Amino acid sequence: MSKLILIRHGQSIWNAANKFTGWVDVPLSKLGRLEATKAAYKLRDYRVDICFTSLLIRAIETAIICLTEFEEICAGKNPVLKHEADDPHWHGWDKYEGNSSCELPIIPSMALDERFYGDLQGLNKAQTAEKYGADVVQAWRRSFSMRPPGGESLEDTMQRTLPFFHSRILTQLKQGDNVLVAAHGNSLRSIIMQLDRLSPELIPNLELATGVPIIYDVDNTGQATNKIILN
């Protein structure tokens, strides 16, 4: 069995300020870095072979902290960002004279970015609920198909996360690799929705805490079993 480790990034500065973040590239807060460090401690007995993350700094920071706090997690290898050749954000400058056998690849992809919150990005969540109504804002945040103004629904987000999950992440798991995915509440919700076979009616109840690893056993056919949450 391969291990699939999913982790929502640690608290960001805008999480702490109760703002909608979406695609805004906000870094971790001091507490967020501590949450990532605690996650690394919980993962110290696991080995990671490859890591996938979004293009956003809060997810990348979380991944690097998790992989570097304890040498055992990446078996003494150096975590190195590796851009996909077809990534439109790739400039071709990550080619250098290194020893690939000593590297643990971290592959960033926009497919794992947080859902786009459109006109809500940067707004305070409590103030937005006062303006539009708490039920409406909760539906924008947690429902499956409702879009916030100018933004993506979870269903929209799933249209980019799941193809990437099947083509890149699941392929590595079927090969026997242990995979760390450091991403966001909604990009991970869309993946967990499929792994746990959740219906759209159940998805509003799925909440992911920041910095808490979720681990699945995955067999060589890609079937996920034995979910563990390292609270």
User: Domains of the chain (ranges plus CATH)?
Assistant: 2-229 (3.40.50.1240)
- Counting as low any pLDDT under 50, the low residues of the chain are none
Query: Given this model, what pLDDT does residue 83 score?
Result: 79
Q: Is 115 annotated as a binding residue?
A: yes
Residues with active-site annotation = 9, 114
Query: Given this model, what pLDDT does residue 95 score?
Result: 64
Query: Given this model, what pLDDT does residue 101 score?
Result: 76
Residues near 224 by Cβ (< 8 Å), separated by ≥ 6? 4, 195, 216, 217, 218
- Residues 93-133 have pLDDT tens digits of 666 566 677 899 999 999 999 999 999 999 999 999 999 99
The encoded tokens of residue 74 equal 């990446």
Query: Given this model, what pLDDT does residue 92 score?
Result: 66
The encoded tokens of residue 192 equal 């967990």
The model's pTM: 0.94
Reported in sequence order, the residue ranges of the chain that DSSP labels E, i.e. its strands, are 2-8, 50-53, 78-81, 103-108, 179-183, 213-218, 224-229
Q: Is 15 annotated as a binding residue?
A: yes
Q: Is 58 annotated as a binding residue?
A: yes
Q: Is 116 annotated as a binding residue?
A: yes
Q: Is 118 annotated as a binding residue?
A: no
The secondary structure of 179-196 as a DSSP string is: EEEEE-HHHHHHHHHHHT
Q: Is 9 annotated as a binding residue?
A: yes
Q: Is 185 annotated as a binding residue?
A: yes
Query: Given this model, what pLDDT does residue 151 score?
Result: 97
Query: Given this model, what pLDDT does residue 69 score?
Result: 94
Query: Given this model, what pLDDT does residue 21 score?
Result: 97
Q: Is 147 annotated as a binding residue?
A: no
| 213 vs 229: CA distance, rounded Å | 6
| 63 vs 53: CA distance, rounded Å | 7
